[in-house]
Chains A and B, each alone.
Chain A
Amino acid sequence: MMMADSGSIEGVAVIGNTDITSTEAENNLINTMVERGTTLLRKMEMNVTEAEKRTGKNTVNMQETYTVYLIETRPAETLPEGGTPATPDTLWRRYSEFELLRTYLLVTYPYIIIPPLPEKRAEFVWHKMSADNLDPDFVERRRVGLENFLLRVASHPVLSNDKIFFLFLTEEKEWREVVLETGFQDKFDSRLKSLSAMFRVKNPDKRFTALKLYSDELNSVISQLLRVRAKVADRLYGVYKVHGNYGRVFSEWSAIEKEMGDGLQSAGHHMDTYAASIDDILEEEEHYADQLKEYLFYTDAVRSVCRKHELMQYELEMVAQDLVQKKQQKEELVTGTVRVFSLKGMTSKLFGQESQEQRESRLAALEQSIREGEETLKEKNTECQEFVRTAWEDIERFKEQKDRDLREALISYAIMQISMCKKGIQVWSNAKECFNKM
């Protein structure tokens, strides 16, 4: 049983593994993705196999209909000869639980580009496709997207080790409580506030600036591509379907012709075939669109990491600035010169000098504050550097993944186009033979 093994799973990951050298890390990345898989994937297979409609009362006690998805997990061990695969463990999850998991991961691993969920509502639809969340086609594509999300997390060198993620796959009822107990919600709220706040970083990291720019460009271009593709799909649908009218008319026409009748009739059948073929063609293309959409949503995750870094950098700068101010204050106090305006300084000038005692205690407090400040600065600096290091590790990993995946997507698009062309050639060659018999 899978559950017995849970004790051997590593605990919640620390920020990166500082023991591995950079080359080893690089090797690990490649190996992880292509050959050996993560620890988790080596132990466990996972699928999102079904979707079901449920009705229940929501938080405001109103009836609602929602969809739940079945997650199946089983041990990924080789089977003995003639053995049957172990029955999978299963549990049901709804989309909002996936969202909760993802939010947890976002907060817990701010330096990681967290894989995106499939879209909440159908966007970039072309007219025949439904924008309804309960539509079976949409639900099916969402099922695939959710499975993809789980696999992405499970194959991530850092995220796959997360205990909450493991429990998401294995603990149906208790999981929600456990997640909330981590207290990530508080971090989330404060983070959310700061992320939307406007602030200016004095010395932005060029690499992150470039990355954010790239991410914005990618977001914009993929959006446009998806929009245009949907329109093209719509039009192509129209072209194919109109040919179906030939089928009907040729059939009627063949009834009044003697010599031409057979040729017309059979040509008409091929036109019907042609018109019908577009449905499968465009359904396949939706998978391509989904692959693009995944990376569209990934750009949000990338942007989020950049913003978090900015926030960190900003906080660091604030701490440094604060320290500088305090040091100046100390200097003034010591030398008696006022370089920086301070209310205390002014009042003491106006209302008379303070006593030596007061001055010394103020100096002591300031020195304490400075020491604390220096500690904080050191910590923040380390924190920032760690963030940068681990973030860039993940960014490099992501870039390679992106290049690989999108190249594969483009290749599969080409394969689809080739298949479409071959179908077209066949239909029109057949029609030509029929016309020849006219």
Chain B
Amino acid sequence: MSGQTVPADFSGHMLDLDEDEDLEVFSKNTSLADGSPMPNSPSSMVNQYRLEEEEQQDADAQDIFITVDNPESHVTAIETFIMYRVATKTTRGEFDSSEYDVRRRYQDFLWLRSKLEENHPTLIVHPLPEKFVMKGMVERFNHDFIDTRRKALHRFLNKISVHPILSNSQHFKVFLTAQELLSHKKQGPGFLSRMGETVRAVANSVRGLRSRPEEFTVMQDYVEDFSSKICSVDKVTQRIIKEQREYFDELKLYSPTYAQWAESEEELAAPLNGVASCVERCSKESEEQIQHLSEVLVPALHEYVLCTETLKAVMRRRDNIQAEFEAKNEALASRRAHQEALQDEVDGLADRVELSNKALKGDWSRWQNGMRSDLKSAFLSTAEKNVDCYEQCLAVWESFLLSQRVEPGEQRDGEDAS
């Protein structure tokens, strides 16, 4: 064992591992150091089985409301960064007050999320927006980038707040309420334990799983497929935006040409100007379409692209937990001495496997429903916007047509408008 300092409230598991050379030195403790219900406690088990019902209840009786807004530049001697205001209103008993107002930076969100993942390795924690977008060479302090990030951070916190287990996390509470987050950040297993997980994961993948339950293999396959599909949809959407932008750019030259022509005409001036203004209006609609796609569909798709990474990680962690148990179990079979202690450990690990699996299963259907609902709503909104844009253009052209029909002089034989 290294000289790592371990907080007192860690469970005793870690100390038992000294004697087994095969296993990692640093243990990944599945129990929670933050005081919230442990995964192996009866109440949390009950929580998991109640997921579906609670979702309903959450929708009807949401008791916490969080907003992320007001990004402000924060300058220190070493760096410049953005601070966001995180405002909370709640009626939950665990909170001392009903309103909180704190300032957080992106790093703080990263901390929160990593804590949540640490403590709930087989729950699906909603992803955060990416660290830095190289694509498109967006500056970190570009207005659009900040606003996009702010909205994603807002969504992140709200996703956590409606999660039956995660929203009760102590870290979550601290994140929302503490004026000064720095002191809280220093607690808990840090970098070393994370590294431990990675090293152990590698070792386990070398060893391989004995037998993954069928349902998780199905899940794994789905995750692979979903990942490739959602990435494709994302790419197609980006491509549509690109094409639409190029279309819009060409349209900008189109309307003025009609107007220019109108200047050298007499009788034709009115219809030409009419067409010019119709084209201009349609090009505005096109611009709005692009904006809507960028603000609604793209972020939704993008979040689920990021989700696939989370899902893969969750599957890996679940596999690791099972692998750890299997390893210990095998060791038990071949050991003569310390059978009892080892048996206890193996039993503990077996429980851990069972609970992790249950947690994942429960969260899985929750995640699927969330995904379906989020993407359905994004696609619906896109379709509605497109209908709306076409309707605006239709109205404009129809009124032009009407203005031309009213022209005195020629009598037309019942030409259709369609």
- A243, A246, A421, A431 — most chain B CB neighbours (10 Å): A421
A residues 388-422 near B (Cβ < 8 Å) are: 402-404, 406-407, 410-411, 413-415, 417-419, 421-422
Q: Tell me if B's interface is mostly helix, strand, loop or mixed.
A: helix
The reply to whether the CB of A425 lies closer than 8 angstroms to some CB of chain B is yes
- Chain A 257-280 near chain B by CB (<8 Å), digits 1 or 0: 101100100010000000000000
Question: In the docked arrangement, what's the CA distance between A238 and B233, Å?
Answer: 17
| A228-B253, A239-B240, A428-B387 as given contacts; A438 in contact with B225, CB under 8 Å | no
The reply to whether the CB of B379 lies closer than 8 angstroms to some CB of chain A is yes
Min Cβ gap B105→A in Å is 36
| A245-B236, A436-B380 as given contacts; A422 in contact with B401, CB under 8 Å | no
Question: Which listed residue (A231, A267, A403, A429) contacts B267, Cβ 8 A?
Answer: A403
Question: In the docked arrangement, what's the CA distance between A225 and B260, Å?
Answer: 10
The reply to whether the CB of A43 lies closer than 8 angstroms to some CB of chain B is no
- Chain A 231-255 near chain B by CB (<8 Å), digits 1 or 0: 1101110110011011001101100
User: Nearest B residue to A432 by beta-carbon distance?
Assistant: B383
The reply to whether B267 and A407 form a contact with Cβ atoms under 8 Å apart is yes
The reply to whether B261 and A414 form a contact with Cβ atoms under 8 Å apart is no
The reply to whether the CB of B90 lies closer than 8 angstroms to some CB of chain A is no
The reply to whether A214 and B264 form a contact with Cβ atoms under 8 Å apart is yes
Residues of A within 8 A of B222 (CB): 256
B residues 262-295 near A (Cβ < 8 Å) are: 264, 267-268, 271-272, 274-275, 278, 282
Question: In the docked arrangement, what's the CA distance between A410 and B276, Å?
Answer: 11
Residues of B within 8 A of A419 (CB): 418
Question: Which listed residue (B225, B390, B401, B410) contacts A415, Cβ 8 A?
Answer: B401
Question: Which listed residue (A239, A249, A410) contacts B275, Cβ 8 A?
Answer: A410
The reply to whether B271 and A260 form a contact with Cβ atoms under 8 Å apart is no
Question: Which listed residue (B247, B258, B372) contacts A239, Cβ 8 A?
Answer: B247
| A242-B239, A418-B417, A432-B380 as given contacts; A253 in contact with B272, CB under 8 Å | no
Stretch at the interface among B7-15, B106-114, B155-163, B392-400: B392-400
The reply to whether the CB of A224 lies closer than 8 angstroms to some CB of chain B is yes
Residues of B within 8 A of A259 (CB): 372
The reply to whether the CB of A435 lies closer than 8 angstroms to some CB of chain B is yes
Residues of B within 8 A of A421 (CB): 390-391, 393-394, 397
The reply to whether A411 and B404 form a contact with Cβ atoms under 8 Å apart is yes
Min Cβ gap B410→A in Å is 8
- Chain A 325-360 near chain B by CB (<8 Å), digits 1 or 0: 000000000000000000000000000000000000
Residues of B within 8 A of A422 (CB): 390, 394, 418
The reply to whether the CB of B147 lies closer than 8 angstroms to some CB of chain A is no
The reply to whether A232 and B394 form a contact with Cβ atoms under 8 Å apart is no
The reply to whether B258 and A225 form a contact with Cβ atoms under 8 Å apart is yes
Residues of B within 8 A of A222 (CB): 261
The reply to whether A414 and B264 form a contact with Cβ atoms under 8 Å apart is no
Question: In the docked arrangement, what's the CA distance between A376 and B146, Å?
Answer: 85
Residues of B within 8 A of A411 (CB): 271, 401, 404
What is the size, in residues, of chain B's interface with A at 8 Å between Cβ atoms?
A: 55
Question: Which listed residue (A236, A249, A410, A432) contacts B272, Cβ 8 A?
Answer: A410
The reply to whether the CB of B226 lies closer than 8 angstroms to some CB of chain A is yes
The reply to whether A238 and B401 form a contact with Cβ atoms under 8 Å apart is no
Min Cβ gap B225→A in Å is 5
User: Nearest B residue to A34 by beta-carbon distance?
Assistant: B410
B residues 355-397 near A (Cβ < 8 Å) are: 372, 375-376, 379-380, 383-384, 386-387, 390-391, 393-394, 397
Question: Which listed residue (A235, A403, A404, A407) contacts B404, Cβ 8 A?
Answer: A407
The reply to whether B254 and A415 form a contact with Cβ atoms under 8 Å apart is no
User: Nearest B residue to A421 by beta-carbon distance?
Assistant: B394
The reply to whether the CB of B344 lies closer than 8 angstroms to some CB of chain A is no
The reply to whether the CB of A217 lies closer than 8 angstroms to some CB of chain B is yes
Residues of B within 8 A of A413 (CB): 275
Min Cβ gap A113→B in Å is 17
Residues of B within 8 A of A418 (CB): 394, 397-398, 401, 417-418
A residues 368-383 near B (Cβ < 8 Å) are: none
What are 20 pairs between A and B in contact, CB < 8 Å?
A: A214-B264, A225-B254, A228-B254, A245-B239, A252-B232, A256-B222, A257-B372, A260-B372, A406-B268, A406-B271, A410-B272, A413-B275, A414-B400, A415-B418, A421-B391, A422-B394, A425-B391, A432-B387, A436-B380, A438-B376
13 further A-B pairs in the complex, CB-CB below 8 A; given A231-B250, A253-B232, A407-B271: A221-B260, A221-B261, A221-B264, A246-B233, A250-B233, A256-B229, A263-B376, A410-B404, A415-B415, A418-B401, A425-B394, A432-B387, A436-B380
A: which residues have CB within 8 A of B?
Answer: 214, 217-218, 221-222, 224-225, 228-229, 231-232, 234-236, 238-239, 242-243, 245-246, 249-250, 252-253, 256-257, 259-260, 263, 267, 402-404, 406-407, 410-411, 413-415, 417-419, 421-422, 424-425, 428-429, 431-432, 435-436, 438
B: which residues have CB within 8 A of A?
Answer: 222, 225-226, 229-230, 232-233, 236, 239-240, 243-244, 246-247, 249-251, 253-254, 257-258, 260-261, 264, 267-268, 271-272, 274-275, 278, 282, 372, 375-376, 379-380, 383-384, 386-387, 390-391, 393-394, 397-398, 400-401, 404, 410, 415-418
